Structure 1
């Protein structure tokens, strides 16, 4: 054991990976629906490892933190700038006001309690579950000309305050928005009814099926033998497809076996009793058609044809601003279904009246030929790849860091966004640029996950290890009172946000709940809300406010230090 401890001290990189291993493992453990989460678990494990008095070089922490912030900006950039358009301005205005209420409430509580800048920054980071504030606040303190011992004491107390307030920040925000939120908006049953009404309104279309498609209900291909007397005189493929559309079902005939010969079909191909056909469409529509057409058959040869799922990035020059119903009406969508829509990494309901934005990634499913033909009409075919455009990432962080390093002096105190704030702003711009010109700057979803999660948690691991020796004493100093103050700092802005959404902005209840979760950047709360109201429509209000909230709350890490 002594040898292992010495190795960790001599090779601090191993201590970081020990922290990540144990932190990610602990973060996956659940008691009922509660878990500490990865970030808090990594921090606490880092504190334990830090008791061994391990010295970690500074640049490691900064490098990974800059990667994390750039990835955050890249992810939300398209929605951040999309919100500045006319139809997005109400949600932007709401997010700004709610984020201002977060800052003001936290600042007032810090003043009342007499907290120093480190305690205030930790309170903001934990109560609002915005871990990046830790790094931004540290960078700000480094540029304020503080005495080194004082600065270090402030920095050491930030993770302590964060850890104390984070638990309620996560669980409390989910509870407030999913349980208290619907009551403030008129009652749970009323909100449920409003969500169903919104689904019906957005799904209603003479040419398209109502409702939305879950990823759990993918497009499927099934084969049937025609036995119904409806086909006695022969029916064209287009007649059968139009028959399905009368019931609001988008089902397509993809293939046919006639007199033992397998062939492709055209709209005027005639179907007769005894023929075998392959239908494609949403699973809930295809399953059960044997009761009408005939028995389902299992035929490997008939079903052995290329089908494809393609992710497509919507561009400004194609269908940005158009509805799902508008896309479905085009001839190139024959045989093609929209499986999912992702906006800023968040899945939104595939409703007929859902409007698409530049940068949205939609998955289209169908036969290989039909899908590829439709994909080029919709936008840029974003074929899966493992390669990240590191030229794009490296240049973005460099430019952002240089911009953030610029400072102005107020009262002899240098004030700047810091390199971390600059990296975030650069990520916003480069992410928006990628949505306009998707031919370059690709960061695959898996790579984005690594930059986000590994980048942040590598930073948090170093923070925990560095704070370890002073953590226990710091925890005694802040005491139980900080937990209570953190609960107030979590709850008050959420209540203010709900009241603003209802009485000032007059949002639909589903949109109001989604906007509050987005402005607080709490995806866990969005899931809790959707479970409570039994609808996915709150996601429609989440993306724009999430982009604004992610940006402002991180920048508040600079503001809270300067204000206190």
Structure 2
């Protein structure tokens, strides 16, 4: 044991990786649906390892924290900009109100309970489940000009308060929003979602987690006196009920297979390959058309592709509007993902698309290629990130953040961390509009986001380890109870404001609240309770605004208490 302790003190980088390994392993374990998560588990592992009195340079956590904050901003950029623009303004304004409540409650608790600045910053981060705020709070405390021992005591108190308050911050927030919220507000969540789906032009949302074979290609023979004989492909496709979306893809005529064009005229005896949703093919054609087996005709090159929406001509339009465009012919939409959390959006006629959305399309290769060109760009898997873009963007943001404006005797600055966050937002938004530069593949973005934060947390925990036990003994029970107040009060007040002031539809109200508090766990429980993905429609804009403001509030909390 002494050899291990000596080795970790001599090579502190090993202690960081040990903290990460234990943290990710323990954080992935679940007990009755609850898990600590990688961040909290890494922090606890690091605190335990930190009992060995290991010293790590503060520069290590700064490097990874800048990387993390840039990734956060990059991921939420398109939704953040849309939120402060016309489309999502009410939701963005509510997110600001909710974030102010989330700042006010921990601040009031800290003043009433007499917590020091470090404990207050940790209380805020844990009760609002916003780990990133500890980085900006750390920067703010370091700029206070305190004696080394006093500053370290405040920094050591922060992870203690975070660890104590985080558990209720996670579980309690989800329970309040998903279970208590509907009762307090008098909402029948299932009925509200069905009503909202009806207003969007549909019942059961299409897509979801269904298998690829929900879209099929079948062969039918054109009868001699059938309705389709003598009509063009476009005329036949127009015969089906609105929203049916059945397409004639290929034609076998005189034993010759040809690709169908919209002006081709069908003749008796033709065998046509028709694509569409399986239930439509069965219900609409099964009883009136003669289905035939023609493997060669149905050997259509079909693919499923992801398309990243960038076109301004698509931004803000509904699926119903886009379905009538020429680029939509022969293409079926399987999934819509939105935002850094890849929230799944229900596929309904009045669902709107926005820049930054990722669509999963199914169809013939030539059809999906045409649709991708009209919508944006194909989001094909890639291994390499544009690291020149990443490095220069973080540098620019950090340089801007390092600038200090003195107002009297008060120094005002974004800090390098705040600058990196804002740079991520700006360049993430630019990437959504001009996807020719700045590509960061999803696995790379995950690494920057998750590992960047957890390395920062590991260094914080290892450094705070020696003083953690004493801090827990002094503040443990009271801090936990005050954390419940700080977590619950803003959410409950926010729900009433969302209902009676902003008058959001009940189906998306709780999703809006969950996004403003950046609690993805709560959104999952809300969708389960609603038996629908509709609450996710309110999540993405408020998440983008909330994630940004709550992170910055870590610095603001320190400023308010000093």
Q: Alpha carbons of 1:230 and 1:158: their partners in 2 closer, same or farther (altered >3 Å)?
A: farther
C-alpha contact (below 8 Å) 1:220/1:286 kept by paired residues: no
Of 373, 377, 389 in structure 2, the residue corresponding to residue 376 of structure 1 is 373
Matches within 5 A, 1:29-178: 29-178=29-178
CA-to-aligned-CA distance 1:56-82 (integer Å, 9 cap, x gap): 222221111111100111111111121
The root-mean-square deviation of aligned C-alpha atoms, in Å, is: 2.6
Question: C-alpha distance in 2, partners of 1:336/1:273?
Answer: 27
Q: Structure 1 residues 350-359 or 34-43, which shifts more?
A: 350-359
Match of 2:216 in 1: 222
Question: C-alpha distance in 1, partners of 2:135/2:248?
Answer: 56
Question: C-alpha distance in 1, partners of 2:328/2:179?
Answer: 41
Question: C-alpha distance in 2, partners of 1:148/1:378?
Answer: 56
C-alpha contact (below 8 Å) 2:331/2:362 kept by paired residues: yes
Question: C-alpha distance in 1, partners of 2:113/2:350?
Answer: 49
CA-to-aligned-CA distance 1:142-162 (integer Å, 9 cap, x gap): 111111101101111111111
Q: Structure 1 residues 105-114 or 474-483, which shifts more?
A: 474-483
Question: C-alpha distance in 1, partners of 2:528/2:487?
Answer: 21
CA-to-aligned-CA distance 1:224-279 (integer Å, 9 cap, x gap): 45479798576465565445x3274223233455666544333435376794x544
| Number of aligned positions between the proteins | 555
Match of 1:389 in 2: 386
Matches within 5 A, 1:537-556: 537-556=534-553
Match of 2:266 in 1: 270
Question: C-alpha distance in 1, partners of 2:130/2:526?
Answer: 20
C-alpha contact (below 8 Å) 1:290/1:296 kept by paired residues: no
C-alpha contact (below 8 Å) 2:102/2:490 kept by paired residues: yes
2:196 corresponds to 1:198: yes
2:334 corresponds to 1:336: no
Of 485, 490, 501 in structure 1, the residue corresponding to residue 487 of structure 2 is 490
Q: Secondary structure at the match of 1:216?
A: coil
Matches within 5 A, 1:400-411: 400-409=397-406
Deviation at 1:556, TM superposition (A): 0.5
Match of 2:320 in 1: 325
Q: Structure 1 residues 162-171 or 331-340, which shifts more?
A: 331-340
Deviation at 1:16, TM superposition (A): 1.4
Q: Structure 1 residues 57-66 or 282-291, which shifts more?
A: 282-291
Deviation at 1:375, TM superposition (A): 1.4
Q: Alpha carbons of 1:227 and 1:374: their partners in 2 closer, same or farther (altered >3 Å)?
A: closer
CA-to-aligned-CA distance 1:77-97 (integer Å, 9 cap, x gap): 111121222332211211111
Match of 1:476 in 2: 473
Match of 2:502 in 1: 505
Question: C-alpha distance in 2, partners of 1:271/1:478?
Answer: 84
C-alpha contact (below 8 Å) 1:223/1:297 kept by paired residues: no
Q: Alpha carbons of 1:224 and 1:543: their partners in 2 closer, same or farther (altered >3 Å)?
A: closer
Question: C-alpha distance in 2, partners of 1:537/1:294?
Answer: 39
CA-to-aligned-CA distance 1:30-66 (integer Å, 9 cap, x gap): 1111111111111111112222222222222111111
CA-to-aligned-CA distance 1:360-405 (integer Å, 9 cap, x gap): 2223221111111121122233333222111221111111111111
Match of 2:356 in 1: 359
Q: Secondary structure at the match of 1:55?
A: coil
Q: Secondary structure at the match of 1:246?
A: coil
Match of 2:186 in 1: 186
Deviation at 1:220, TM superposition (A): 4.9
Question: C-alpha distance in 1, partners of 2:267/2:119?
Answer: 74
Q: Secondary structure at the match of 2:411?
A: strand
Deviation at 1:435, TM superposition (A): 1.8
Question: C-alpha distance in 2, partners of 1:233/1:323?
Answer: 32
Question: C-alpha distance in 1, partners of 2:219/2:537?
Answer: 42
Question: C-alpha distance in 1, partners of 2:452/2:495?
Answer: 33
Q: Alpha carbons of 1:270 and 1:494: their partners in 2 closer, same or farther (altered >3 Å)?
A: same
Q: Structure 1 residues 380-389 or 129-138, which shifts more?
A: 380-389
Match of 1:426 in 2: 423
CA-to-aligned-CA distance 1:86-124 (integer Å, 9 cap, x gap): 332211211111111111111000001000011000111
C-alpha contact (below 8 Å) 2:219/2:298 kept by paired residues: no
Deviation at 1:465, TM superposition (A): 1.5
Of 539, 553, 562 in structure 1, the residue corresponding to residue 559 of structure 2 is 562
Question: C-alpha distance in 2, partners of 1:279/1:220?
Answer: 14
Deviation at 1:167, TM superposition (A): 0.7
C-alpha contact (below 8 Å) 2:223/2:269 kept by paired residues: yes
Matches within 5 A, 1:430-449: 430-449=427-446
CA-to-aligned-CA distance 1:415-452 (integer Å, 9 cap, x gap): 32211111111111111121222211111212111111
Deviation at 1:507, TM superposition (A): 0.9
Question: C-alpha distance in 1, partners of 2:305/2:218?
Answer: 26
Question: C-alpha distance in 2, partners of 1:223/1:436?
Answer: 35
Q: Secondary structure at the match of 1:355?
A: coil
Of 530, 533, 536 in structure 2, the residue corresponding to residue 536 of structure 1 is 533
Question: C-alpha distance in 2, partners of 1:327/1:439?
Answer: 24
C-alpha contact (below 8 Å) 1:231/1:273 kept by paired residues: no
Q: Alpha carbons of 1:223 and 1:484: their partners in 2 closer, same or farther (altered >3 Å)?
A: same
Question: C-alpha distance in 2, partners of 1:304/1:265?
Answer: 14
Match of 1:311 in 2: 306
Q: Which runs of 5+ in 1 are unaligned?
A: none
Q: Alpha carbons of 1:182 and 1:231: their partners in 2 closer, same or farther (altered >3 Å)?
A: farther
Q: Alpha carbons of 1:179 and 1:80: their partners in 2 closer, same or farther (altered >3 Å)?
A: same
Question: C-alpha distance in 2, partners of 1:386/1:495?
Answer: 44
**TM-score with structure 1 length normalisation?**
0.92
Question: C-alpha distance in 1, partners of 2:92/2:278?
Answer: 37
Q: Which runs of 5+ in 2 are unaligned?
A: none
